[in-house]
Structure 1
Amino acid sequence: MTGDGTGDGRRDRRRAAAGAATAMFCVGTLTAVSPALHDYPVYGGQALRYAAGALPLFLVMRARRLPHLRLNAREITLIVLLAAVGLAAFNIFVIESTRYADPATVGTIVATVPIILALAGPLMDRRRPTPHIVVAAAVVAAGAAVATGLGHATLLGVLLALGALACEVGFSLLAVPLLPRLGAIRVSAYATAAAVPLLAVAGLASDGRAAIRPPTLGEAAAMGYLALVVTAFAFFCWYDALPRLGPERAGLFSGFLPIGAIVSSVLLGTGHPGVPDLLGAALVIGGLLLGLRPRRAPLAAVQAARTPPTREPAGRPDGRARPGRT
């Protein structure tokens, strides 16, 4: 994260904050669009979504003349894990958890991701978590939970939702080592493409040859939106912001997930925000303001900066000149 205090540094942070908020807001609209795909085979539909999402990312790479870098064994492993955990397994856990728990319960559990990132991010860098960011993450998670609602669940539903939470954390932490060399576009494109065969295999195991069929016009429109906006655009925005903010601060923007769901449901006429929705949104914004406030330098450091440095006198204490070197 850029922290030089210059105008460029502040602009960089504002860009990163806007990107992270945009990414999570777009992902939040998933819940309003997904009902259009209820009749389409789940895993085959996800495979098509990621295949269609990878295409514009590779086209952007070509337009920007970004060469395909030769990946080492560690990078290949991380890309496969990112696709398997952060994309394919996340979808599987979310889908299966809703069979044994209310979507509200699943959303509430996944909404605790800012707390996990606020703790795990610093620990990966071998430093202590920042107390005010941990508190801010708890406020954001509480706001997301209030906006989503609590619902009810069986023990299996809770365990599956916890699996989705772990995958959501992996979506960020597994990408952190890749971003400095590969950049946001390559990581987004490679991970999205790698998820396609994983979900295709899951679809064949679940639905056989019926895993993929020609979509209807409404299903095609929904898939197109998920591919272009929720996948290609949102993934790039998130991975562009992640190294600039760091996982602990970027995680705070996960609170925009329920806000995106609320706004999109209103625009599509599928829902109307109530008091819990507005209260949850207010808590999310309050948590963000707390977590993103500039850190104050310690008082001792400020006083030291204000104190002019003392210069050693040119002569010796007895007033005589210092002897020169021989």
Structure 2
Amino acid sequence: MPISDTASGSLRAATAMTLLGCSTGATAALTDYPLLGGQAARYLLAALILVPIALRAGRLTPRLSASELGRLVVLAGTGLFAFNVLLVQALRDTDPAAVGSVVGCTPLLLTVLGPLLERRRPRLRLVAAAGVVVAGAAVTQGFSSGGPAGFAYALGTLACEAAFSLVALPLLPRLGPVRVSAYVTVLAVPMFALAGLAVDGSALLRRPSGAELGALLYLGTVLTVIAFLLWYAALGRLGAERAGLFAGLIPVTAALSGAAVGAGALHPGELLGTLLVGLGVCLGVAPGVTASRGLPGRRRPAAAADRRRPVPSAGPGTP
């Protein structure tokens, strides 16, 4: 029995955000590894996997236009490069709880900006659902204080997180999740490599320890290849408004995964936040709320070819 676009998109979005939330352990293992060089290696590994998969779809007809290429460069520069740099700077100037509370506003931002970019009015029900998700994420993450510089960096991180979805939306109907993911990972490699050479010089890369190598492999394959594909496939099915609600799962799954591996105990606030996030997501994806008209593009050849191919990650695709 075939499942609906809503169910399929919800499953993909939830899986992608769960993988992102569970990546905190891998990220922590790279604390002492050169940031820019590590990210360059991560996206190079992802590109080596994604490009051959994209090539299996055949030649893109017509070829990539200048506007599409420009949008892909902006997507890689904001959603991948600037996001990681600003996130690290934010964490240096304030604590993770404050940063998480700001970035946790992503669902609300997508719910409002998504329709406005399509010249539509935001739907009250989805805005309310996003508000519940944001409240749940804030309760889970905890409230904290930080300096103005850290707050500014956190706002920049929030903007880049939203750009990762909003800038990609017009590209997905023609290019499909696989091509978009392949293009942006390829473009991100020189961005991180050149910045790393300018900042770290010869210390751009070093031989990783066993734990660091495992973390790089996880980030490059699971978090980038799989999560990117899942997330972009979810965007095409749900639209930014509803898919964005699932970003509230990031702090929830981070807390749950930490408790599961013994890195910390669950607190009542985290459990309450989990319930609020779940309530908000259910409110947003419940029957009666449909995706925006122009997004899915499900009849277009490129996107359809991406979904037909037996890609291991079709079952995520990020963060």
What band does the TM-score fall into relative to the shorter chain? 0.7 to 0.9
Amino acid at match of 1:32: G
Paired letter, 2:243: A
Task: Determine the C-alpha separation between the residues in 2 that align with 1:265 and 1:296.
Answer: 34
TM superposition shift of 1:53: 1.4
Which residue, 70, 73, 91 being the options, matches 2:66? 73
Alpha-carbon contact 2:23-2:219 (below 8 Å) kept: yes
TM-score for the superposition, normalised by structure 2: 0.87
TM-score (norm 1): 0.85
The aligned runs of 1:117-132 (5 Å cut-off) are: 117-132=110-125
Equivalent residues of 1:57, 1:232 under 8 A apart? yes
Q: 2:11 aligns with which of 10, 15, 18?
A: 18
CA offsets 1:106-145 (integer angstroms, 9 cap, x no match): 1110010111111111111111110010010011011111
CA–CA distance in 2 between the matches of 1:200 and 1:92? 13
Q: Which amino acid aligns with 1:268?
A: V
Contact 1:148 1:258 in 2 (8 A): yes
Which digits, 9 at most, give the CA deviation of each residue in 1:13-37, with x for residues without a partner? 2111000111111111222221111
- Counterparts of 2:214 and 2:20, CA distance in 1: 16
Aligned to 2:286: 293
Structure 1: gaps of 5 or more residues? 1-6, 298-326
User: Which residue number in structure 2 is paired with residue 256 of structure 1?
Assistant: 249
Q: Is 2:5–2:238's contact at 8 Å kept on the other side of the alignment? A: no
Q: Tell me, in whole angstroms, the C-alpha distance in 1 between the residues paired with 2:289 and 2:15.
A: 28
Q: Corresponding residue for 2:311?
A: none
Letter in 1 for 2:8: R
What does residue range 104-183 of structure 1 map to in structure 2 within 5 Å?
A: 104-183=97-176
Aligned ranges for residues 294-309 of structure 1 at < 5 Å? 294-295=287-288
Quote how far apart the aligned CAs of 1:296 are.
8.0
Alignment of 1:37-48 (within 5 A): 37-48=30-41
Worse overlay, 252-261 or 170-179: 252-261
Distance 1:245 1:72 in 2: 26
Once the 2 structures are TM-superposed, how far is the Cα of residue 60 of structure 1 from its aligned partner?
2.4
Contact 1:137 1:291 in 2 (8 A): yes
CA distance in 2, matches of 1:60, 1:12: 23
* Larger Rg belongs to: 1
Q: CA deviation at 1:280?
A: 0.8
Aligned match of 1:228: 221
% identical equivalent positions: 47
